[in-house]
A and B are shown apart, each in its own frame.
Chain A
Amino acid sequence: MAGMTMKEAQARAARRREITKRLKEQVIGRLMLQLEPDEIADDSPLFGSGLGLDSVDALEIVVAVESEFGVSITDEDMQAFRSINTVVDFIEAKQEEKPV
């Protein structure tokens, strides 16, 4: 049988939901968006047709991610900032790199 067990899937979903919600709240607060967290799709493009953000907004998101999640972000990392989900991927990857 492939895939996770139900218990593993629920635990994974809960963890991801928590980080995603925190990130959306930070983005909304920092950029003063007239939105609620559940009004942003997780795969929403941050730029262009999605949230319609610009490069200045992107810097605000960098500051938000660094302060809220305690990870550092380089210029090269910015390519990961395409959607809420790709930013959460980045946060999770950075957190996994941290020594326990």
Chain B
Amino acid sequence: MSTTYELVRNQAALFDFSSEGRFFIRGEGAAEAVNAVIASDLEAIPELKALNTVVLDEAGAIQAIVWVLKTEDGVWVLCDPDRRKLLGERLVASAMERTAEVDDRTEATLCLAVIGPAAQKIAMAVAGEDVIGIPYLGFEANEQTDALLCRLGYTGEFEFRFIAARERASELRALLLGAGAEHGLEIGEASDLPLLMLEMRSLSQREYIPEGTSPIQAGLHWMIDFRKENYPGHDAMHAQKANPGCKALMLQLETVTPPVGDQAVRIEQQEVGRCVHLAYSPTLGKTIALAYVDAALAWVGVVFDVAGEDARAVSAPLFITKTVASPQ
């Protein structure tokens, strides 16, 4: 078990997400400009509430998975580092048609995240007692840390992100590590996050979503507002929802050593899907996989053949985390 995995599941780890894209869209038409690009409806959520949604192309393929944070002054849009250029172009094109300006604040700001069951206590120690009142998908301008404090996350554990001016990186990192020392806080390896996400059926775009995949195929329906009328990919989503062709499916193998390489998913030697990732889950003590499987067979309880091993389709999340199990 990696140190980072152990920390995130049992204590807390500190991650530097500063390389992720951070855009701030302001102006009278800011919300409209962002709404024209995303598949969820920004108008349907209140201020100080975050949306986890997708930016699609016209064919319905996922271009970027984004967090959208609606504030009184404008809208933040956060994305993976490798989607920054594409997302920036989409946002700028939309803003030019409206009364809005896009400010790429990636270089001017930093983003530090504390993730784990102890993350709330650590965030409270540096940002004040009010932290306990921040719901999941909530955020606030925190005076004590002079940062935008967001409660987001994909791992099933508490995750508090601090977005602040880049020149404050050392100070904020020291503050968090100091407050977190009694909770065992250490710096985590971001490369361990995809496994922690997959156990909760959250999908890292880079690791688990092949190019050309739609949110319906990936099982990310909740990132779409099906009642929204105009957004890129709208027609494709409605055409595909009844018959996506293939669906992402969580598989569990009894083996502790994951089969290596690109693995087919078979029934009676007939290929019915492909695994995009196989990994050992320390919590389960078994191998887990994410596979894209013929939709007619992609149902929990079906047992496939992966590399000669039984691979049972299972429900997600794969287990209940300490954060969820403990009273909040």
Residue in A43, A49, A52 whose beta carbon sits within 8 Å of that of B316 in the complex: A43
Give the Cβ gap from A14 to chain B, nearest Cβ, in Å: 8
Contact assessment for A4 and B299 in the assembled complex, using a CB-CB cutoff below 8 Å: no
Q: Report yes or no: B299 in contact with A12, Cβ–Cβ below 8 A.
A: yes
A1 near B269 with CB under 8 A, answer yes
Q: Which residues of B contact A49 (CB under 8 A)?
A: 52, 136-137, 222
Which B residues touch A42, using CB under 8 A?
219, 300, 315
* A51–B308 alpha-carbon span in the complex (Å): 37
B17-40 vs A, Cβ < 8 Å mask (1 yes, 0 no):
000000000000000000000000
Complex formed: what's the CA distance from A36 to B224 in Å? 13
Cβ B222 vs Cβ A3 within 8 A: no
In the complex, which residue of chain B has the Cβ closest to the Cβ of A44? B222
B51 to chain A, nearest CB (A): 8
A3–B300 CB distance below 8 A:
no
Mark contacts of A81-94 with chain B using CB atoms, 8 A cut-off: 1 yes-contact digit, 0 otherwise.
01101101100100
Bound CA span A6–B293, Å: 14
Contact A4 B316 (CB under 8 A): no
Render A37-76 as a binary contact track against B, CB cut-off 8 A, 1 for contact: 0111111110011111000000000000000000000000
Q: How many residue pairs bridge A and B at CB < 8 Å? A: 110
Contact in complex: B300, A39 (CB < 8 Å): no
Is B185 among interface residues, defined by CB-CB distance under 8 A? no
**Interface residues of B, dominant DSSP:** loop
Contact in complex: A10, B297 (CB < 8 Å):
yes
A32 contacts B by Cβ under 8 Å: no
Closest Cβ–Cβ distance, residue A89 to chain B (whole Å):
5
Q: Name the CB-closest residue of A to B317.
A: A82
Residues of B close to A88: CB separation below 8 A: 300, 315
Partner of B303, one of A4, A17, A43: A4
A20–chain B nearest beta-carbon distance, Å: 8
Residues of chain A contacted by B220 (CB below 8 angstroms): 41
Identify which of residues 275-320 in chain B touch chain A, using a CB-to-CB cut-off of 8 Å. 296-306, 308-311, 315-317, 320
B301 adjacent to A2 (CB under 8 Å): no
**Given A3-B305, A85-B300, CB of A45 within 8 Å of CB of B242:** no
- Give me the 5 closest cross-chain CB pairs, A-B, nearest first: A85-B315, A3-B305, A41-B221, A16-B299, A13-B299
Q: Besides A3-B310, A43-B250, 19 other CB < 8 A contacts?
A: A2-B306, A2-B308, A6-B270, A9-B267, A10-B296, A10-B297, A13-B298, A16-B302, A36-B226, A39-B221, A42-B300, A48-B137, A49-B222, A50-B222, A51-B222, A82-B317, A82-B320, A85-B316, A86-B316
10 example contacts (A-B, Cβ-Cβ < 8 A) are as follows A6-B267, A17-B299, A20-B299, A36-B226, A39-B224, A41-B221, A52-B222, A82-B317, A85-B315, A88-B315
